[in-house]
Copies of this chain bind each other. A is one copy, B any other.
Amino acid sequence: MTKAVGVGLLGFGTVGSGVVEIIQRHQNELQHKVGCPVEVKKILVRDVNKQRKVEVNRSILTEVASDVIYDPEVDIIVEVMGGIEDTKLQLIEALNQKKHVVTANKDLMALHGAELLKVAAENQCDLFYEASVAGGIPILKGLSDGLSADRITKMMGIVNGTTNYILTKMTQEGSSYEEVLSQAQELGFAESDPTADVEGLDAARKMAILATLGFSVKVQLDDVSVRGISSVSDADLHYSHQLGYTMKLIGLAQRDEDRIEVSVQPTLLPHHHPLSSVHNEYNAVYVYGEAVGETMFYGPGAGSLPTATAAMSDLVQVIRNMRLGVNGKTVQEPLHERVLKEDKEIESQYFIRLKVVDRAGTFSTITSLFAEYEVSFEKLLQLPIEGEEAAEVIIITHKTNKENYQLLINRLNELAVVHSLESSYRVEGGQ
């Protein structure tokens, strides 16, 4: 029997337990795939005395990270504890000790991925991070292997399960954001402090990772323009639906020639768009490649076993590489410097909802302003507001650039016939 490969875990929470469970439960299949036994040798935990769901020999638990990092029997470190700066230092030390690293840490990879990959390459070590984006969906392998020969020009992702759950429920039940959020918190689909999810930061981190890999450019977290879902109203969802659109929190990464745009924002998609059928806590990444056309990867975005599966697929890859003697050779430095698009280069359609004075001439005032900025209408809906001398106007524009759109929006707000600009959203997947 070939010598066992030793695995050390940093963290033993939901994902860590999943990894250990899969290694135990699928040991036979694993051995068949990699040609040698795989053994968990050391696990960093907060409290060695805590009761745990997954059974492991007490002697392999430790509360000291260096016990894992310097353990000579540990060949591969699986980092599933989270954290940024301290974790980064520990992983750099692990790589310098010639340990391969598998991480599920999106925060770390979004902020320090480039640096860590460099250290890995210097040490001829693998550093894989499939589990950091979209849980159980093998999207990073899809981009780097499956679509490797294509030129990816657009990615749209539903990469945050909490917000997709909230928007799905709001749409299906007609409930308000606040109601659904508190339900989601009770059911465990939203954190008690949901800020990172609902304000789009979590999705932004994942999009920075996806754009870097998919476009082979260095995308920083600051490059991602972010808007969350906390201001989305049930009325917005209602009118979107009526006009043939589904609202999703969409992470968008797009490139034209070598200029890119990365954003996260509530976005309207036509009902027939593949992403519109992605419900509840599920994630999906829609990829447009010049040659392949439209593809989509769908699956669970979080959860113990799905995320653990992604980490395990990385682990299998590391072990295969070890047995072939080719670790650290597939790390690729991004090919292009990133050049961000300016607002006037960012083209899209928009949904605009206005509350206007309900009297003759209102409409012509509004339309002449749109004409001034060369923004034309694709769809239009006007409804009286009961009991008020006002009407609601909902517009889906044709494509326009973001600069014109911003100027238009500012001017709309100043018009005397406009009571208020209720909301506006980007529209994708049309035309």
A296 CB-CB contact with B under 8 Å: yes
List residues of chain B with CB within 8 A of the CB of A141.
141-142, 145-146
Query: Hey, which chain B residues are within 8 Å of A138, CB to CB?
Result: 142, 145-147, 295
B299 touches A294 (CB 8 A): yes
- Asked whether any CB of chain B lies closer than 8 Å to the CB of A130, the reply is yes
Number of residues from A at the complex interface, CB < 8 A: 58
CB pair A298–B300 under 8 Å, yes or no, is no
Among A44-52, A310-318, A337-345, A387-395, the stretch that binds chain B is A310-318
Least Cβ–Cβ distance between A164 and chain B, in angstroms: 14
Q: Contacts A141-B141, A274-B277: A299 and B293 contacting too (C-beta < 8 A)?
A: yes
Does B303 lie within 8 Å of A293, measured CB to CB? yes
A58 within 8 A of B: no
Contact B332 A32 (CB under 8 A): yes
- Of A93-101, A199-207, A322-330, the stretch lying at the interface with chain B is A322-330
Residue positions of A touching B, CB distance < 8 A: 18, 22, 26, 29-30, 32-33, 130, 136-138, 141-142, 145-151, 216, 272, 274, 276-279, 282, 289-300, 303, 305-306, 308-310, 312-313, 315-317, 320, 324, 326, 329-330, 332, 335
29 contacts between A and B (CB under 8 A): A22-B149, A26-B150, A29-B149, A29-B216, A30-B149, A32-B216, A32-B335, A33-B332, A136-B291, A137-B295, A138-B142, A138-B146, A141-B142, A142-B142, A145-B145, A148-B317, A150-B312, A150-B313, A289-B309, A290-B305, A291-B306, A293-B299, A293-B303, A294-B299, A295-B298, A295-B300, A296-B296, A296-B297, A324-B326
